[in-house]
Structure 1
Amino acid sequence: MAVTKTHPIKSTLKAAIDYICNPEKTNGKLLVSAHGCAAETADIEFSWTRRHAIDKGTNLGRHLIQAFQPGEVTPEQAHEIGMELAKEILGGKYEFILTTHIDKDHVHNHLIFNAVSFADHKHYHSNKRSYHYIRRTSDRLCKEHGLSVIIPGQDKGKSYIE
């Protein structure tokens, strides 16, 4: 079962990207992927895209974490599911970096994506509706890959909030 959470990046984009790309956490960077940018220069590329936006918003990017139950998925499977999630929820319109961390007892993905689309230079709007879409998509992908999902109201002691 995967749980997701997301938060804005307001001022530390390079630090956040450096953190998620840490070779000690990503099997020597084998579990690092990018779309529309290079992981090494993503902060600069995100900034260039933002400069062309009319509505820049207040965020530099978004950080999404997708954590899996211990022992339920291999790092490679988690990375594949994370890529599928990123491509589906972002529609190929936003630059992103996806990494899979293997340094804890549970495998988890970090997805950092630009707050502005490089396709139409529109700002990403994060709200309850967009978050529930992410969660539903993550659950569907987990089911498609034979993983368990949290069923609200049925899984005692388990919730997305945890």
Structure 2
Amino acid sequence: MVVVPKPKQIRSEKALKSAVKYILNPDKTDEQVLTSGYHISNLNYADVEMNYTRILARKMVGRQKKQVLAHHLVQSFRPEDGLSAEEIHQIGREWIEELTGGSHEYIIATHVDKNHIHNVRPDRVLSQVV
């Protein structure tokens, strides 16, 4: 497994919407077969739901300066790892659960359109709200 060492920070609603669209792209995900999320009721509107969470968090803790809305992470696997797309998706779900501690909403999709199958996801990090 190869993990991109530094997650990409998503700082605008437009960038979040673009990331969600890319991550859930039906051409990359075999028509969204290997997609899932946590605390997201409709994956295709994850950006809207994550933004609502941000708005509620700001109301709870007071107005914050410009903050990171989400992180975009990539987890890649080599073909010689011999893992199925389903196994890779499960590994990705377990990894993001460890990273978020089960406390933050996220979406995850396993892209199967390349020789190297990989997981991509933005995870919503609200360090102010626990």
Normalised-by-shorter TM-score class: 0.7 to 0.9
2:99 aligned with 1:67, yes or no?
Answer: no
1:28 matched to 2:31? The reply is yes
Provide Cα deviations, 1:12-35, integer angstroms capped at 9, x if missing partner.
Answer: 101110001011111110111010
Q: Which has the larger radius of gyration?
A: 1
Q: TM-score, normalised by structure 2?
A: 0.83
Letter in 2 for 1:2: V
Alpha-carbon separation, structure 1, partners of 2:39 and 2:66 = 20
The C-alpha deviation readout for 1:88-121, integer Å capped at 9, x for no partner, is 110111110000001111011002111326xx72
Please name the residue that 1:90 is paired with: 100
Relative to structure 1, the CA distance from residue 41 to residue 91 in structure 2 (aligned partners, 3 Å threshold; closer, same or farther) is: same
1:19 maps onto 2:22 in alignment: yes
Q: For the structure 1 residues 69 and 56, does the alpha-carbon distance in structure 2 shift closer, same or farther, using more than 3 Å as the test?
A: farther
Considering fraction of residues, name the structure with more helix: 2
Length-normalised TM-score, structure 1 = 0.68
**3-state SS in 2 of match to 1:66:** strand
Aligned positions, number: 120
Which residue of the partner structure matches residue 141 of structure 1?
none
Aligned counterparts of 1:57 and 1:80: Cα–Cα separation in 2: 33
> 2:68 & 2:50 partners in 1: Cα distance?
11
User: How far apart, CA to CA, are the structure 2 residues paired with 1:3 and 1:116?
Assistant: 22
Structure 1 residues 77, 28: closer, same or farther in 2, change over 3 A?
same
- Which residue matches 1:77? 87
Matched, 1:121 2:122: no
CA RMSD after TM alignment = 1.7
The CA deviation at 1:56 is 6.5
